């Protein structure tokens, strides 16, 4: 890290000597920055050192290849949100026009903050706790807050993987179990299940067969044993994938990161061959430019950019900490960000191609049902045959013919039209039905697949893709917990990984009771949004304003071998913090305008109904948010008043020149500590210059600085430090 030289002056001599810890260690082997003592004597020209190697740094695992690392970052950032959140936002916020604010915000806040997390993780080679303890000990709570949020997200995210596992195994039958409504016996008669008949087969299968959902969040209803087994299976998969750290999870990424792209491409090709697919894609691409003037569109685009890249979770930092120090993380940031965007667009094309096909099928079904009503009215002489255009053929009724007939009847029978209960059957209305999240994956998409030829095959592929997308994100999320905790507290990764998975499974049982889906929605909507936004703002401030943007840019230049674009300086220092503060403010305002609530499926009404959260659920939600951000002020206060160790690295150096001794101990936050940290052994030597003293931006030459006598670093020397040498 920075190598600020110290200007020293003998008490009885005017001779100036410029010396630094960097110079002392220039030809030395890496030493333990915490416990080592280095003695240098100019009289004997010999060097004696005691070294206790930090085994965690010496033996820190590394990625087998650059490809494995890139796939891990892609697998982590590309998740379920790309498949079911981005298409919904695109449909809701202006179609193709939505991509303009998304791309702008990706460049303004997405890539710079993603690059920042990659850079600090790669440079410091620690998880989120160690990184922020190092950058600014008083803000070390950022790392703990990231771990807490990761844990909250992991609890409910794996439940979604469990649902996908359930549907995956149910897909190995023909016809698919959600393609038709079940038949029940009512005495001697066989009738269609009423709840299914009034909704749809896929809706019934999701709410009743899969979740067996209760009518409200207050009605627990006991555990759903099938979902409990699926959740156990999901956590077993995560545990096995991570039991050996990146050595095992890295190999899993080859399949879990690449397989979804194979499935998406196959679905796109198949979707384009379906009737009505082009209608769906044109509906998506048609821009509604006026939507770009809506601040809500920009807020939702910023939120999607923020979560799509996995910022603030600690997974990005954890993965990059296993890199070599000369890795080009600047290129990685741009590459992964644009692959993420490309994946979102690809998934949106697939979704709208399939939904375009579904809309055509549903529209044709609507035409047939309403044509039968019209024929019945004609037979009962409620309608006159004169109202039917002569070219209309009921045996081959087209959408256009029905639309013409519908308009004539509505005009003539204007006073009594409502009593006829005829539907307009407009394709655009079907395409405008916005569906997101579980509603898209487990209801709309599954319904569309029932109309595919060889539907079980496509269903198996689709849910296997969801499992892999979820698994890749879960590995990154859990890495955001396991890596920083194991780095900080030196616990065995295998034992801690298993303990984490077991504990998470037991706590996750709340999500597999009959009301569990409501808890999933509550956690997904509220438990992570505000805490993560606060975490990322503090990360940005810690690097740009506490540590120093110019200093950080200089260190990136030394680490990468080239100077990053000047744009990043202004993005980190001004643009990103302002944008993130505006996003936080907008989120708080939105919460004030729309109090937290949830959509409940009411069995008797056979429809969803929105409810406000009960007081106990609201208290639980507030507690989750407070618990997630609480480590930040707690660590700040404890370290401000020296109640706990500052968490930074310490060094004790004894430097002997003749009869004069210079003792440097407990450097805490100073730049020499960071330099020692940079000298720690790694898989490849750091490309940073060894001898050059780093003069921080806007700092003056050390030879021009005035000294201070008898400072805390010892007597008999006048010590001069750069203004930026302390945080």
Model pLDDT, residue 590:
83
Model pLDDT, residue 435:
65
> Cα dist. 188→181, 182, 423 in Å?
19, 16, 35
> Cα dist. 43→16, 241, 467, 657 in Å?
18, 57, 67, 7
Range of the domain at 367: 363-422
CATH number of the domain enclosing 90: 1.20.1740.10
pLDDT band for position 502 (50/70/90)?
A: very high
Alpha helices in 561-666 (DSSP H): 566-570, 576-593, 615-629, 631-640
Counting other chains too, the contacts that 660-663 makes at CB distance below 8 Å and 24 or more residues apart are 660/10, 660/716, 660/717, 661/714, 661/716, 662/8, 662/713, 662/714, 662/716, 662/717, 663/713, 663/714
Same-domain status, 353 and 417: no
| Element at 18 (helix H, strand E) | strand 16-19
* Residue 181: both structure tokens together: 């409504």
Same-domain status, 310 and 403: no
pLDDT band for position 52 (50/70/90)?
A: very low
Q: How much helix, strand and coil, in percent to the nearest 5, is found in the chain?
A: 60, 10, 30
Please indicate, yes or no, if residue 5 is contained in any of the structural domains.
Answer: no
Model pLDDT, residue 654:
31
Tell me which of 70-84, 529-543, 595-609, 687-701 is least confident: 687-701
User: Distance between CA 64 and CA 258 in Å, rounded?
Assistant: 17
Please indicate, yes or no, if residue 659 is contained in any of the structural domains.
Answer: no
Evaluated on CA atoms 519, 508, 473, 164, the torsion sign reads negative
Average pLDDT over residues 225-233: 93
DSSP SS3 for 535: helix
Same-domain status, 402 and 297: no
Pairing mode of beta strands 660-665, 6-9: unpaired
Model pLDDT, residue 113:
93
Residue that is written with structure tokens 């009289």 in the block: 43
Please indicate, yes or no, if residue 688 is contained in any of the structural domains.
Answer: no
Higher-scoring residue by pLDDT: 97, 153:
153
DSSP SS3 for 227: helix
pLDDT tens digit string along 173-213? 888 888 888 888 777 777 888 888 888 888 889 888 898 88
Evaluated on CA atoms 25, 29, 33, 36, the torsion sign reads negative
Please indicate, yes or no, if residue 660 is contained in any of the structural domains.
Answer: no
Of 723, 674, 640, whose CA–CA distance to 123 is shortest? 674
pLDDT band for position 270 (50/70/90)?
A: confident
Please indicate, yes or no, if residue 444 is contained in any of the structural domains.
Answer: yes
Please indicate, yes or no, if residue 723 is contained in any of the structural domains.
Answer: no
Point out the domain boundary residue: 647, 676, 701: 647
Average pLDDT over residues 285-307: 83
Please indicate, yes or no, if residue 661 is contained in any of the structural domains.
Answer: no
Total domain count for the chain?
2
- DSSP letter at 29 equals P
Higher-scoring residue by pLDDT: 706, 638:
638
Same-domain status, 476 and 415: no
Residue that is written with structure tokens 């806007």 in the block: 698
Please indicate, yes or no, if residue 652 is contained in any of the structural domains.
Answer: no
* C-alpha distance across the termini of the chain, in Å: 14
Model pLDDT, residue 28:
46
Residue 340 in marked binding region: yes
Q: Which DSSP string corresponds to 51-94?
A: ----HHHHT----S-HHHHHHHHHHHHS-HHHHHTHHHHHHHTT
Point out the domain boundary residue: 376, 400, 422: 422
DSSP SS3 for 422: coil
Same-domain status, 297 and 403: no
Contact indicator for 171, 459 with CB cutoff of 8 Å? yes
User: Distance between CA 258 and CA 266 in Å, rounded?
Assistant: 13
Same-domain status, 167 and 199: yes
pLDDT band for position 339 (50/70/90)?
A: very high
Torsion angles phi and psi, residue 692, rounded to 5: -70, 125
Model pLDDT, residue 13:
42
Average pLDDT over residues 394-398: 78
Residue 469 in marked binding region: yes
User: Distance between CA 256 and CA 250 in Å, rounded?
Assistant: 10
Same-domain status, 177 and 319: yes
Same-domain status, 452 and 376: no
pLDDT band for position 4 (50/70/90)?
A: very low
Residue 473 in marked binding region: yes
Position 315 pLDDT exceeds 90: no
Torsion angles phi and psi, residue 188, rounded to 5: -95, -5
pLDDT tens digit string along 640-670? 888 877 655 433 333 333 333 333 333 344 4
Same-domain status, 285 and 300: yes
Same-domain status, 383 and 487: no
CB atoms within 10 A of CB 394: 15
Position 612 pLDDT exceeds 70: yes
**pTM score, whole prediction:** 0.76
Position 103 pLDDT exceeds 60: yes
Q: Which DSSP string corresponds to 490-516?
A: ---HHHHHHHHHHHHHHHGGGGSBTTH
Torsion angles phi and psi, residue 463, rounded to 5: -75, -25
User: Distance between CA 141 and CA 634 in Å, rounded?
Assistant: 7
User: Distance between CA 80 and CA 463 in Å, rounded?
Assistant: 11
User: Distance between CA 511 and CA 223 in Å, rounded?
Assistant: 9
pLDDT tens digit string along 685-721? 433 333 333 334 444 333 333 333 333 333 333 333 3
Model pLDDT, residue 689:
38
Point out the domain boundary residue: 422, 448, 464: 422
* Residue 142: both structure tokens together: 């950022």
Residue 82 in marked binding region: yes
Share of the chain above pLDDT 70, in %: 80
Same-domain status, 346 and 395: no
pLDDT tens digit string along 597-607? 888 888 888 88
Of 240, 159, 151, 213, whose CA–CA distance to 508 is shortest? 159
Same-domain status, 356 and 370: no
User: Distance between CA 557 and CA 711 in Å, rounded?
Assistant: 32
Position 552 pLDDT exceeds 70: yes
Position 65 pLDDT exceeds 70: yes
Tell me the average pLDDT of the chain.
77
């Amino acid at each position: 890290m920075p190598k600020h030289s110290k200007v020293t002056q003998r008490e009885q001599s005017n001779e100036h000597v410029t010396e630094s810890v960097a110079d002392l260690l220039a030809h030395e082997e890496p030493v333990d920055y915490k416990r080592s003592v280095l003695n240098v004597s100019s009289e004997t020209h010999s060097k004696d050192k005691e070294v206790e190697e930090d085994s965690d740094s010496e033996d820190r695992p590394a990625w087998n290849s650059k490809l494995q690392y890139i796939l891990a970052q892609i697998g982590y950032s590309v998740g379920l949100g790309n498949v079911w959140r981005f298409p919904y936002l695109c449909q809701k916020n202006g179609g193709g026009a939505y991509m303009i604010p998304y791309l702008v915000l990706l460049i303004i806040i997405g890539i710079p903050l993603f690059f920042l997390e990659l850079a600090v993780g790669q440079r410091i080679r620690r998880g989120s706790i160690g990184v922020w303890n190092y950058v600014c000990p008083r803000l070390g709570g950022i790392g703990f807050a990231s771990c807490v949020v990761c844990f909250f997200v992991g609890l409910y995210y794996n439940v979604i993987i469990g649902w996908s596992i359930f549907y995956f195994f149910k897909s190995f039958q023909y016809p698919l179990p959600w393609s038709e409504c079940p038949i029940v016996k009512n005495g001697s008669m066989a009738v269609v299940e009423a709840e299914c008949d009034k909704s749809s087969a896929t809706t019934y299968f999701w709410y009743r067969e899969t979740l067996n959902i209760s009518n409200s969040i207050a009605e627990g209803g006991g555990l759903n044993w099938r979902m409990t087994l699926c959740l156990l299976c999901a956590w077993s998969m995560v545990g096995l994938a991570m039991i050996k750290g990146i050595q095992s999870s890295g190999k899993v990424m080859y399949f879990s990161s690449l397989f979804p792209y194979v499935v998406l491409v196959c679905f796109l090709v198949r979707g384009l061959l379906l009737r009505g697919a082009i209608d769906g894609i044109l509906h998506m691409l048609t821009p509604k430019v006026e939507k770009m003037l809506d601040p809500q569109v920009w807020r939702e685009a910023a939120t999607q950019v923020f979560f799509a890249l996995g910022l603030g979770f600690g997974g990005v930092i954890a993965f990059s900490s296993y890199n070599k120090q000369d890795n080009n993380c600047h290129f990685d940031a741009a590459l992964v960000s644009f692959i993420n965007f490309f994946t979102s667009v690809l998934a949106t094309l697939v979704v709208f191609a399939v939904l375009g096909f579904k809309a055509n099928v549903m529209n044709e079904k609507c035409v047939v049902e309403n044509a039968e009503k019209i024929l019945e009215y004609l037979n009962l002489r409620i309608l006159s045959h004169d109202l039917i255009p002569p070219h209309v053929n009921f045996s081959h009724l087209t959408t256009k013919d029905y639309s013409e007939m519908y308009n004539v009847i509505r005009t003539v029978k204007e006073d009594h039209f409502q009593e006829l209960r005829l539907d307009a059957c407009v394709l655009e209305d079907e395409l405008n039905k916005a569906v997101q999240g579980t509603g898209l994956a487990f209801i709309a998409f599954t319904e569309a697949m029932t109309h595919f030829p060889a539907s079980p095959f496509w269903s198996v592929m689709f849910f296997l893709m969801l499992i892999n997308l979820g698994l890749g994100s879960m590995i990154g999320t859990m890495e955001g917990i396991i890596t920083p905790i194991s780095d900080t507290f030196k616990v065995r990764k295998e034992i801690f990984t298993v303990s984490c998975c077991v504990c998470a499974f037991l706590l996750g049982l709340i999500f597999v009771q009959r009301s569990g889906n409501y808890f999933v929605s509550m956690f997904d909507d509220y438990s992570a949004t505000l805490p993560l936004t606060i975490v990322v703002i503090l990360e940005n401030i810690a690097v740009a304003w506490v540590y120093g943007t110019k200093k950080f840019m200089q260190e990136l230049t030394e680490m990468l071998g080239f100077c990053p674009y000047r744009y990043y300086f202004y993005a980190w220092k001004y643009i990103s913090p302002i944008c993130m503060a505006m996003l936080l403010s907008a989120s708080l305002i939105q919460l004030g305008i729309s109090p937290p609530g949830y959509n409940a499926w009411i069995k008797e009404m056979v429809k969803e109904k929105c409810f406000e959260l009960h007081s106990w659920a609201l208290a639980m939600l507030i507690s989750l948010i407070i618990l997630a951000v609480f480590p930040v002020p707690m660590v700040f206060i404890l370290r401000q008043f020296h109640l706990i160790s500052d968490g930074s690295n310490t060094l004790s150096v004894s430097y002997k020149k003749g009869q004069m001794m210079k003792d440097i101990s407990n450097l805490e936050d100073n730049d020499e500590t960071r330099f020692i940290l940079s000298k720690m052994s790694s898989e490849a030597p750091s490309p940073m210059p060894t001898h050059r003293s780093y003069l921080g931006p806007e700092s003056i030459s050390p030879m021009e600085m005035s000294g201070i006598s008898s400072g805390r670093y010892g007597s008999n020397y006048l010590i001069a430090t750069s203004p930026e040498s302390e945080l």
